[in-house]
Structure 1
């Protein structure tokens, strides 16, 4: 997500290459030329929400924009309450922030899909020495939570998009998105981290290759990296993107050696805006994802992506959009659906308004977050731990503030002759 404006001018690629035959995906959501279709081959508009903040906490979602990345937030918390209690808080957060009740509500509202932003360290244990010897130790927590989510979605006839939001090493200079530690090698500087990423997708493919509730694998969220010019922090001026293309090709090859069922999703550099050098993709069961924040809701604003769809005969999907007001939401959804494009809004919930659900921060957490922002006194460890556990409990669906006006802005036209009044958040 979210911290720099998106470029409206896309660097269009001029190279051409032959395309392979479509991967066989009967019984699964898949790409069919310029459309995403369901298991029966009918056109499918994905209408979904992102579970942002569940597995990857971005600072602004916790009222801690100054700290940016999750590992920084966690480290500062551990300095106050110790590492053991910090882990207790994070386990409680993951136990509460997304439950069956959230998914049931989304289905009742009218959404048909969920995008899950994943953190690699919930799936791979960071064990010094193991990786260097070629071994990877799987962290079953991440897979256990995916399994539970699949069961909740299956019960509601919804589908899941798995999104590698925080890749090993981190995929961008925008460190909050991928929880990158600038003191360590990035994904692009570490062959070992790239190997871990490919191994993770291979393991996901092995475990879920026959699971039709999963609609697709979003291989790498919002890369933002200048490969040719190191001053191009977001990769928006990149004209080649060779390292990104190479990583995509190796990842796709590894997945397809195991799983020929699931749709693959790729995002461009520059937060999903720069596709120069990345297209075409040989695998025909592949969709192009763009993200749309803070740009006009005009036909011209998405024309570059529509041209890519037509030129390369592949579907479009908007994997992230949001953080605006209801009027913008309604216009953005109408624009995309008019052009046959599905979407996943960001996020379902966070601290602060503008989402279907809002987590209310109690007085204790407000005091703690003020200290972490440098605006207040340090709370005692006991009080800080109690405040964090209260926040985790308050992240549950039944304790959230429900903003039905946001849901109506996104889905209202599906259920009534005219939408309810749109309220700015």
Structure 2
């Protein structure tokens, strides 16, 4: 372990919560270098929807490499890219009646967000982007500007400009936050002005598993149409099946102007990101937003195989919804037994429990790790214990992880009650 402390930057984060050396992994199980197994409820922070080392993808990648297929190709045409685009069109876009251009950005989600913001500003001639309370969109300059969390903004070292924040659905309790948003748009003295676009997550993963309702999302799209603003949906963490459908907004009957995808899009954990944009907004000049690694052909191979394996029909989505139902019932049961101490949040296989503070949530996740469960926290105070396990997790392993989590919650809350009564 010394080498990491000696020469790796202080910026490292996840390894502080899970201080072991991992050796191998399969589906939703990780193994450290001492042979200890862990149930993975982290899933690469949403990057491993199809599990670790998915055998279908692994063999396709091995075959491609052994055939001397193109690895790096900038944005040149390759067979791997062609095959991915054809499969994405036939398996994802066409069945959903979606007509979008596909832009390959640099391989990170934050780069896709940067491109989306540029597109909105370039096409409207306006600068302001509206983002929402507790939203997270990345940590590069533009993406950090539209990220609400002050921790990430501070690291920029300079003011973040070109953004205004509005309250997310539920932020003000039962009050319809879109009414406030529209009032500010209609009032020339509100300070909001005329924004170019809004950027929103349907499920705020890093923000604490806050969920936008279908009614609110439809209202947001209508508001954008009335006031000539582009609607950008950031589906980087909530997309690729995490919500139970490929896109997190499918059940809302909306058509965003721009969509960002990354994380699990590459299928195997290989970096890949795209922006989907309506054709009328595809006004880029050649190379105007580029990147050396926007042509990750290995990711094209595994991404195509993921689409063919899991999205050729409704079976996988049905399985995900079934597991999400089991997960919700279990978490609701825990909530009922600890009434007042925790609250269920999220949807799909992107659910968790909110506790009174980040201290309580951290005690639970630390104890869970010692017992063989990898799980993280989220929210403005890290007060939400968040489950992002691979969608392919076996039900037995899902239940095993939930058993560990429940025992840790019981123990931590019982000990806190004991201390409180003793004092």
Flag the structure with larger Rg.
2
- TM (norm. structure 1) is 0.29
